[in-house]
Structure 1
């Protein structure tokens, strides 16, 4: 179990211990209901608890609405902008089923906003007013606080930037091969747009793949994981394709928690691109630095 999730479970136990009437006000059971978090709610399924309240803290009345609205945040999580982003979002989309509503603390909101808002701005989306951090309780109150210590964390935040998911223009074959060395996987794929009138959604992956490097990406799941990437990170795919309806690309990236594909580099495949052709030809015999 990842360290962040372990810390989150400890926090939940703390909240359960302090869940007594009269403290911070009670929550009316009659105004809401407890329901299981379904697998189709990918954002919050397996978050550390199994039941949530509806309506949630974003006033979504039905599970269908909560699932639909929460799915729009999956691409941001794929960009790994902050380790606590999922905890923050799920505290709102799928609040834990206690006798009262437990809001995220203001410091958690501010930490996630400071790292994720710049990434959202890269794609033209402002931090939404519905997530205004001033609306959330102070850190000394009963609330879900920030788990990650950013001053000691070894993870760079945010990992994504405005240059992520842009076609690369390599200066040498060695540059490409060194990038492949530090990547978990590298695959040559053909992407096409299902709906040519769509702007950033509905992309399809050709069945033929040329895998240069598998890494943790198993052969049996390569196509499925890459199609999942097309579905979850459509904005990234749109940036790579630059308005074309179909194209062949050499992509590389990492596996996030051995589950989600995150593409970091992409090169447009052209037969006349001698640098790319040379890199792929030499890659089979290239020895990466230890």
Structure 2
């Protein structure tokens, strides 16, 4: 079947606003019909919301809705490997292995004629726990993997002698999840960012604001995996809080 050029349909929500509006069909995953493309692409949409890699969309859309040129341009193997490394752990948590149809050894070793990684993640000094995207998927994803989920005000953040960063919480806190955490532990709890002494947590900058803090109990320590401002006005945030209540 000779490839043809068609408009990217509006119901292909994985690949909207990607810098071009026409795609070739069959695509690079050998989908022959638009229905097949949209059905298969739909299952990848939640991965974009988790923001596990800044080039997830670029990689997936280079395959699902490839740009309309005379010859196909595949993603470089390094782009595939980079996205796979960042996202596979999150997928496996929900029972999804990295699919065979996007196996990285199918793609060309980097050369001029493949699509390269665009966003090389620039290191900043913000602790990983403090820079999650505020999306429905990211909040629910972190909730599912957490032992404790609380809404609280933070009195102070302090670098601790053990190399961690501690959150001194105000007394009044609401627990949305408390797996194997006793009442006594909940009262005295000191959530910490593991090895967080050297990084900052820019989002926590007020003693009057409430924060959503999630994490895990390891031995008798409470390690923070996610912290964000309590933002009732944000639509995704409200939806996520309704889902986890």
TM-score in same-fold range (> 0.5):
yes
TM-score when normalising by structure 2: 0.60
| Corresponding residue for residue 165 of structure 1 | 143
Deviations 1:194-245 (A, max 9, x none): xxxxxxxxxxxxxxxxxxx21xx3xxxx5xxx6xxxxxxxxxxxxxxxxxxx
Match of 2:228 among 182, 189, 203: 182
Shift of 1:68: 1.1
Q: 1:55 aligns with which of 23, 26, 34?
A: 26
Contact 2:212 2:230 in 1 (8 A): no
Corresponding residue number in structure 2 for 1:140: 111
- Tell me the equivalent position of 2:155: none
**CA drift at 1:149:** 1.2
Report the CA distance between 1:38 and its aligned residue. Answer: 1.2
Q: Name which of 102, 127, 132 aligns with 1:131.
A: 102
1:237-276 aligned within 5 A: 252=237, 263=240, 267-268=244-245
For residue 266 of structure 1, report the CA deviation from its aligned partner: 6.4
Show structure 2 runs of 5+ residues with no match.
133-137, 153-170, 176-209, 214-226
Unaligned segments of structure 1, at least 5 residues: 1-29, 186-212, 227-251, 254-260, 269-290
Matches within 5 A, 1:20-99: 31-99=2-70
What per-residue deviation string (whole Å, max 9, x for no partner) do you get for residues 130-168 of structure 1?
111111111124110001112547785995599613274
1:115 aligns with 2:86: yes
Q: Specify which structure has the higher proportion of strand.
A: 2
Matched, 1:106 2:77: yes
Distance 2:62 2:42 in 1: 15
Partner of 1:274: none
Segments ≥4 residues shifted beyond 6 Å: none
**How many residues end up aligned between the 2 structures?**
170
Contact 1:165 1:266 in 2 (8 A): no
Equivalent pair of 1:165/1:264 in contact (CA under 8 Å): no
CA deviation after TM superposition for structure 1 residue 184, in Å: 6.2
What's the RMSD between the two structures over aligned residues? Answer: 3.3
1:96-140 deviation digits (Å, cap 9, x = unpaired): 000100000011000100001011011011001111111111112
